[in-house]
Amino acid sequence: MRVGLIGSGYWARTVHGRGVGRNPRAELVGVWGRDATRTAEAAADLGTEAFNDLDRLLESVEALTFAVPPDVQSDIALRAARAGKHLLLEKPLAIRTHDARQLESAVTDAGVASIVFFTRRFVPETEAWLQRVQELGGWECGRAEFLANIFVAGNPFGASPWRREHGALWDVGPHALSVLCPVLGEVVSVVAGGGRGDQVHLVLQHAGDRSSTLSLSLTVPVEAVGNTVYVYGEHGREAPPPGPFEAVVAHAAAVDALIDQAAAENPTHPCDAHFGARVVEVLAAAEESLRTGQRVRVPPD
């Protein structure tokens, strides 16, 4: 599959570009970015061509892999889907629910393959754990803590404008939902409360009277950094493998999933644009709950 890279920053160069490059079933055709100088540097680093014209890149590829802010991604991905290009998207799919639903519809109408790169979902050990607990069933509740501090020297994400504006809810919230929702089911309502810095706590009601809680932050003290995920029910408590995992290897697996999906008669995947749009709806409901102090229902799929 001929793949173009959208983005020229740290994550584009170190994960998306290299993930395509290490997959023998894919070819990185070129890079397009909003800054011509950085795009040229990224292309040189990855051994591919820099494109200044987005339309020319679209004409040269079968698929795109995205590593740009979500509001930039949603606009370009919409154009690409309508042009019949397969999409390997970053999380969150978009910031506004309207944009997420519009992109979801475009993917359906065009019949293109789509993958949202919820990183942990493309780690074999995590997928094996999810399959096992889904087969067991009987889970009542779950818990996820994603606590980080990106504002320390040397962290490549600390200067990210969209992360500074939208915080942990939109940055690490998708990762938590990508692991809990396959086990506990669709989220039907959200209650959210804020804490210090960008910290946010969510109480989620899932279908079938199941529930979960999330605590998310990008600004905790360095000594408190860490992640915890587990579910519990009639079989006790279960937690996915803690890692570590290589993001580049996970991305190469996501490229494989995109290629397989593109060859399918009905392209679907557990982490496709449809699931990505549901995640955006949950995050938007949480944002509304933070603003109003009320429980907010999530639109049914």
CATH code for the domain of 190: 3.30.360.10
CA 16 to chain centre: 13
Whether residues 286 and 235 share a domain: the answer is: yes
How many CB atoms lie under 10 A from the CB of residue 144? 24
Looking at the structure, do residues 30 and 143 belong to the same domain, yes or no? no
Residues 166 and 235 in one domain: yes
**pLDDT confidence of 244, banded at 50, 70, 90?**
confident
* Residue 275 forms part of a structural domain: no
Residue 77 is part of which domain span?
2-120+248-270
Distance CA 96, CA 140 (A): 30
**CATH number for the domain including 14?**
3.40.50.720
Confidence of residue 301 (pLDDT cuts 50, 70, 90): confident
Instruction: Please check whether residues 87 and 160 belong to one and the same domain.
Output: no
* Domain match, 111 and 183 both: no
**pLDDT value at 268 more than 90:** yes
Residue 242 has pLDDT above 90, yes or no: no
Claim to verify: residue 158 and residue 19 sit in the same structural domain: no
Residue 266 resides in a domain: yes
pLDDT in tens, 94-121: 999 999 999 999 999 999 999 999 999 9
Cβ neighbourhood burial of 39 (10 Å; 0-12, 13-18, 19+): buried
210: pLDDT strictly greater than 90:
yes
Which CA distances in Å does 18 have to 43, 56, 94, 211, 295? 11, 22, 24, 38, 42
CA distances from 44 to 39, 41, 48, 53, 249 (A): 9, 5, 6, 17, 21
CA angle (104, 270, 172) in 5-degree steps: 80
Question: pLDDT of 130-188, one tens digit each?
Answer: 999 999 999 999 999 999 999 999 999 999 999 999 999 999 999 999 999 999 999 99
286 with 152, same domain: the answer is yes
Helices (H), the chain: 10-11, 18-21, 36-46, 54-60, 70-82, 97-110, 124-136, 161-171, 173-184, 247-263, 273-292
217 pairs with which residues across the strands?
Answer: 147
Using DSSP bridges, classify how beta strands 2-6 and 63-66 pair: parallel, antiparallel or unpaired: parallel
When divided into structural domains, the chain yields a total of 2
Q: Are residues 77 and 225 in the same domain?
A: no
Q: What is the pLDDT of residue 25?
A: 97
Name the DSSP letter for residue 242: -
Q: Could you tell me if residue 203 is inside a domain?
A: yes
The tens digit of pLDDT for each residue in 55-99 reads: 999 999 999 999 999 999 999 999 999 999 999 999 999 999 999
* Structure-block tokens of residue 53: 């014209």
Same domain? 154 vs 288: yes
Give the per-residue pLDDT at 243.
78
* Digit-coded pLDDT (tens) for 19-58: 999 999 999 999 999 999 999 999 999 999 999 999 999 9
Instruction: Fill in the amino acid letter for 101.
Output: R
pLDDT of residue 156: 93
Domain match, 56 and 156 both: no
Residues 199 and 289 in one domain: yes
Same domain, 285 and 158: yes
